[in-house]
Amino acid sequence: MERPIGIIVSEPHALAGQGSRSSGNFSTEWFGGAHVMLVEVTVDGQIDDTITFNIAEDKSGSDPVRARDVKNNYQVGYIGSNSLYICEVRCPVNKNFMITFKPYVK
């Protein structure tokens, strides 16, 4: 079993006082060397293909969106950062969900 690049749990909606942010910050920076990350989205331990979200980077001023319309089994280019977060969630099941970023091996 390969070691994940990062794991984060997100709310199904924006956090209190936040415009669109639904998670705390998470890091992928330590991993290095990966070119592509494979996204796995689960709710209560089961794969969920209905949830979509964006990944943004927490910066001073406005936060750039680094990946849009991400969902289960999505391949996203490696983003090396220690201040990423989940935002603009569309979550039909209305439950917290876990996102695991795995190194993609062709």
The encoded tokens of residue 75 equal 């391949």
Q: Give pTM, 2 decimals.
A: 0.93
How much of the chain, in percent, has pLDDT values that exceed 90? 78
Nearest residue to 10 (alpha-carbon basis) of 103, 105, 102, 93:
93
Other CB atoms closer than 10 Å to residue 39's CB: what's the count? 19
pLDDT at 106: 65
Sheet arrangement for strand 84-90: 65-70, 52-57, 84-90
Q: What is the pLDDT of residues 34-69, one digit of tens each?
A: 689 999 999 999 999 999 999 999 998 899 999 999
- For residue 76, name the pLDDT band (cuts at 50, 70, 90): very high
